[in-house]
Structure 1
Amino acid sequence: MKKLLYAIALFLLASACNTKPASKPYSWDDDLHQRLLTDFCMTETQVKDYIRKYIPDVTDEQIRQWEASKALECMTLDGEKRYFRNAGPNLFRVDSACYDIKIAKEGTALGGSEKVNMENLPEIIAAVKKEGKSIAAPKRMRVTYTLTVDTNAVPAGKIIRCWLPFPRADQARQQDVKFISASEPEYTFSPQDCRHSTLYMEKRAVQGEPTVFSETFEYTSSGEWFDLKPEDVQPYDTTSTLYKEYTAEREKHIIFSPRLRELAARLTAGETNPYLKAKRIFRWVNDNFPWASAREYSTIENIPEYVLDNRHGDCGQVSLLFITLCRISGIPAHFQSGFMMHPRAWNLHDWAEVYFEGVGWVPVDQSFGIPTFARNADEEYFFLGGIDSWRMIVNTDYGMPLVPAKKYPRSETVDFQRGEVEWEGGNLYFPQWDYHMDIDYLNY
C-alpha cells in the first residue's frame, strides 16, 4: 500500500512539474496597446516620403509644426514616435495650406457617391413634393457579404464564432428584406429589438485553409426627405420616455463635458426653435471639421472631444459630435449606421436621426453635410432631414451588446459594420481577417 501511495505521489509531482504555465489572462490595456500599434504603424521617413509628393522640400520644422497643430497625427508607443497609418493623406485634408497645395496640383472632382447623389437627390425631392410622402426613390439590391479569416489564424479544429451585418427589417425606408442563403447550415438572426442586426454562425478552422463565412440577401432601400419648416416643429413633451432617453448622456461617447455644454450654448444662443438649433449645429460642424481617415474608434476615449481636439472627423465621429450637441441643446438624437451602397462607391458609413415633435424622427447625415454640388436650398440642406436611397441600415445605436453575446471585447467596440470574429483563445482583430461585399443592383 505504501508503495502504491508513493508511486501516485511521484506521478502527481511529475505531472505538476511538466504542466505548462497558464496563458496570460486577457487584459484590455494589452489589447488596446496592440490596437494602437496597428493603427500607428508609420515611421517619420515613410510620412515624409508621402509629403514630398506635394512638398518636395519639406523640413523637419514643418513636420514639428504640423504635429503641434495635430494636423499630422502621431503618438509615442514603446518609446518610439509612430505616425497614424493615414497621417500623410490626412495632412492634406486637414491643414488648409496643404490642402490648397494638393488641389493646385491635382484639381478637384466629385467623388463617386457625390456623382450618384447629384442625380438621386433631385429624384427624391421631386417625388416627395409630387406624392406628398417622405419616402421615395426605392432601390433594390442583392448582396453577398463575405468575411474571410486568415489561414491558420486559429488552431485547426477550433471553433470560430462569427457575427455578420444584416439589414434591419424595422425601418420604414428599408423594406422587403429577404434572406437567401448562408455559408453554414446553422445560423442565428439577432432579435429585432437588438440595436445591432446580425447573422451569427460558427465554423471549425481547418489546417492550411482560410475560414470563410458568407451570407446572401436582398432588400429595398429608399431615400427619405422632409421639407422641414421651423413652424412645423412643436414644443417637446419633456416628460416623455423618448425625450428623456434621447436627450440623456451615454457612456462613453455622448458626455456633456463643460466644453461641449459651453459650445452648444454658444451655437444655439438666442434660438428656441429645435429645427433652427439643429441647423446651426449642422452648419457649424460642416464648416469646421473636414473629413479625414479615422483611427479605430475603440482606441479613442471620447469621440466628440477627439474631433474638437484634432479639428477633423470621419462620418461616425462628426455624427457623434452632432448628436451630443443636439442632446445638450434639448433635441432628441441617436446614432445610425451600416453602409453607403452607392454604385462603385460602397463603404462603411454612419449618420444620425433627430426627433422633432410634430414631425417625428428624421435622418441627418452630418458627414455628407452641405453638398458641393448643391444647386438650390433644398439640396443645400438635404442631409438635415433627408438621406439618399443608397443605404443599408444595420445599427440603430452604438456600443450595444451583440446577440448571442461575445466573450471578448469587439474589434469595433463602438460601431458594428464589418463583422466580428473570435475563438476560445480571444478576439480576432482586423489584421487577421478581411471582408468583401458583392452588390447586384436590381433596378438601377
Structure 2
Amino acid sequence: MKNLLYLVLFLLAFSACNRKASDASYSWASDLHQRLLTDFCLTEAQVKDYIRRYLPDVTDEQMRQWEESGALECMMLDGEKRYFRNAGPNLFRIDSLCREVKLAKEGEQVSTSDRANAENLPEILAATDGRGDSCLAAPKRMRVTYTLTVDTNAVPAGEVVRCWLPYPRTDIPRQQDVKLIATSEPSYTLTSEGTTHSTLYMEKRAVSGEPTVFSETFEYTSYGEWHDIRPSDVLPYDTTTELYRRYTSERDRHIVFSPRLRQLADNLTEGEDNPYLKACRIFRWVNDHFPWASAREYSTIDNIPEYVLDNRHGDCGQVTLLFVTLCRIAGIPAHFQSGFMMQPRAWNLHDWAEVYFEGIGWVPVDQSFGLAPYAEKAGKPYFYLGGIDSWRMVVNQDYGMPLVPEKKYPRSETVDFQRGEVEWTGGNLYFTEWGYHMDIEYLNY
C-alpha cells in the first residue's frame, strides 16, 4: 500500500514538472512566427502564375509597384520574401485596374449571399416601419449541427482535448427561441447570458489512430431588423452614463485613438453635430475607400484599423473595427459584434457592429456589406446603418475577451471567436490541426 502511495505521489510530481516545462517552453514570439509562416506560404513564382491568368505579361516592375501600394501582400520571413496565401486573388479585388481586367474577362459576379439578401431586404422593409418596437421582421428558423474535428494523432492518445464551440446568444432581441438539441459529449458547459463570447465547452480524450470529434446541434430563430432613422429622432447623448463612457473609450489593441485616427475622425465629421449624420459620413467613407479582401489571421496584426489604413483594404472584421474606432473617437457609442452569416448555400464567418443613438437605442451596422446595390434598389441605400438581414447567428458581443472556462494558451484567433478553439496540456491546437463544418436545415424557408 505504501509503495502504491509513493507511486501516485511520484506520478503527480512528474506530471506537475512536465506542465511547468511545457509552460516554460511556450513562446508567443515563436507561435506568432509559425502563424505568419502559415499565412505567408507562397513564393513569387506561385503568385505570378495566378496573376498570369489575367495579365500574361506581368512584369517584375508591376509586382514591386503592387507590393509598395499594399495591393500585393508579402513580407520577409526567415530571410526570404513570402506572399500571403490569397495574395493573387486579393490583387484583383484591391487594385482598381486589375479589378477592371478581371471584370472584363469574367463579367460581374453576384454572390449567393447577395441574391439571398436582395430577396430578404424588401421582406423586412415591407413588414416594419422602423419605429418603436416593431423593427423585427422576416424570421428564419434554423437547425444547425456544428462539428469540429481534430486531426488524427494531433494529440497523444489518452490526453484530454478541451474544445470551445460557437453557440447562438440568448440575450439578443433579434435572436430568439434558442434550443440545444444534442451534444457529442454528455458533459458540457454553456456560457451564461451576458458573457462576451457565447460558447459550448466540452472535453474528450484523444484515441490513437482516430480523429477527435466534437459536435453540437441546436435550433434558433433569427430576425431581420430595420430602424428607419431620421436625424431629428436622435437626441443629444448623456455623456455621464456608464454606457456612454464605456463605448466611447479606447480598447487595447484594436480600438486605439492614435493621432492619425483622431485626425481622420475629426476630418470626416467636421461641421456636423448630429450623431447619425456623423455615422453616415464615416460609414460612406469606409465603404468607398476599402474594398473587401481576404484577410490574414487577426492574431498576427498589432492594430487592425491602422492596418486597414496602411494596406487600403479589409475584410468584414477589419473594416468593422475601423468603423467602431472612428465612431468612438467622434463620440458615438459603438461595439463589435460577430458570428456567422447564414444565407442558404453561403454561410460563412462574419463580423459587424452596433452603434447607440440616444432616443433610439442600439442599432446594427454592417460596414462590410456597406452601401449594397440591392439595398439601394430597395430604396434604402443606408439599410445596413440601422438595419440587418435575417441571415445571422450572433455569437460575440465584443472581441478578445476570456473564454469560459478560461483557456490556458493563447487562442488561435485572439480577436474574434467563431470557428471554435481547441487545446490540450501540451499547447494550443492551431487551425492547421483541425477543421470545422456546419450543416444547416432551414425550417421555414
With the shorter chain as reference, the TM-score category is over 0.9
**Where in structure 1 do 4 or more consecutive aligned residues deviate above 6 Å?**
none
Q: Distance in 2 between matches of 1:79 and 1:376?
A: 51
The equivalent residue for 2:88 is: 88
Could you tell me how far 1:22 is from its partner in structure 2? 5.0
Could you tell me how far 1:373 is from its partner in structure 2? 2.6
Q: Distance in 2 between matches of 1:373 and 1:196?
A: 31
Task: Give per-residue Cα distances to partners, 1:262-306, cap 9 Å, x unaligned.
Answer: 000000000000000000000000000000000000000000000
Quote the sequence identity (%). Answer: 76
Retained in 1: the 8 A contact 2:233–2:359?
yes
Q: Which amino acid aligns with 1:237?
A: D
The equivalent residue for 1:164 is: 165
Q: Distance in 1 between matches of 2:378 and 2:162?
A: 48
Task: Give per-residue Cα distances to partners, 1:7-51, cap 9 Å, x unaligned.
Answer: xxxxxxxxxxxx999566111000000000000000001000000
Q: CA RMSD in A?
A: 1.4
Retained in 2: the 8 A contact 1:371–1:379?
no
The equivalent residue for 1:312 is: 313
The equivalent residue for 1:233 is: 234
Alignment of 1:46-195 (within 5 A): 46-129=46-129, 133-195=134-196
Retained in 2: the 8 A contact 1:191–1:403?
no
Task: Give per-residue Cα distances to partners, 1:159-179, cap 9 Å, x unaligned.
Answer: 000000000000000000000
Tell me: CA distance 1:130–1:32, structure 2 relative to 1, closer, same or farther (3 Å): closer
Could you tell me how far 1:372 is from its partner in structure 2? 2.0
Structure 1 length normalisation: TM-score?
0.94
Q: Distance in 2 between matches of 1:175 and 1:154?
A: 37
Q: Distance in 2 between matches of 1:376 and 1:140?
A: 26
Q: Which amino acid aligns with 1:126?
A: A
Could you tell me how far 1:344 is from its partner in structure 2? 0.7
Q: Distance in 2 between matches of 1:194 and 1:129?
A: 32
Q: Distance in 2 between matches of 1:160 and 1:73?
A: 35
Q: Distance in 2 between matches of 1:22 and 1:138?
A: 52
Instruction: Kindly tell me the number of residue pairs found equivalent between the two proteins.
Output: 426
The equivalent residue for 1:33 is: 33
Retained in 2: the 8 A contact 1:122–1:379?
no
Could you tell me how far 1:377 is from its partner in structure 2? 7.1
Is the partner of 1:335 in helix, strand or coil?
A: strand
Could you tell me how far 1:374 is from its partner in structure 2? 3.4
Q: Distance in 1 between matches of 2:380 and 2:209?
A: 53
Q: Distance in 1 between matches of 2:293 and 2:356?
A: 28
Could you tell me how far 1:155 is from its partner in structure 2? 0.5
Retained in 2: the 8 A contact 1:156–1:206?
yes
Q: Distance in 1 between matches of 2:217 and 2:301?
A: 33
Could you tell me how far 1:378 is from its partner in structure 2? 4.0
Gaps of 5+ in 2: 1-16
Task: Give per-residue Cα distances to partners, 1:191-214, cap 9 Å, x unaligned.
Answer: 212100000000000001000000
The equivalent residue for 1:279 is: 280
The equivalent residue for 2:340 is: 339
Q: Distance in 2 between matches of 1:373 and 1:338?
A: 23
Task: Give per-residue Cα distances to partners, 1:109-129, cap 9 Å, x unaligned.
Answer: 211111001110011011002
Could you tell me how far 1:131 is from its partner in structure 2? 9.1
Is the partner of 1:380 in helix, strand or coil?
A: coil
Q: Distance in 2 between matches of 1:374 and 1:411?
A: 35
Q: Which amino acid aligns with 2:99?
A: Y
The equivalent residue for 1:11 is: none
Q: Which amino acid aligns with 1:34?
A: Q
Gaps of 5+ in 1: 1-18
Task: Give per-residue Cα distances to partners, 1:242-271, cap 9 Å, x unaligned.
Answer: 000000000000000000000000000000
Could you tell me how far 1:190 is from its partner in structure 2? 1.2
Could you tell me how far 1:318 is from its partner in structure 2? 0.2
Rg larger for: 1
Note if 1:210 corresponds to 2:211. Answer: yes
Is the partner of 1:180 in helix, strand or coil?
A: strand
Q: Distance in 2 between matches of 1:130 and 1:236?
A: 21
Q: Distance in 1 between matches of 2:338 and 2:149?
A: 22
Tell me: CA distance 1:375–1:333, structure 2 relative to 1, closer, same or farther (3 Å): closer
Retained in 2: the 8 A contact 1:408–1:427?
yes
Q: Distance in 1 between matches of 2:32 and 2:59?
A: 33
Q: Distance in 2 between matches of 1:104 and 1:410?
A: 42
Tell me: CA distance 1:130–1:421, structure 2 relative to 1, closer, same or farther (3 Å): closer
Q: Which amino acid aligns with 2:289?
A: N
Q: Distance in 1 between matches of 2:364 and 2:193?
A: 20
Q: Distance in 2 between matches of 1:254 and 1:375?
A: 30
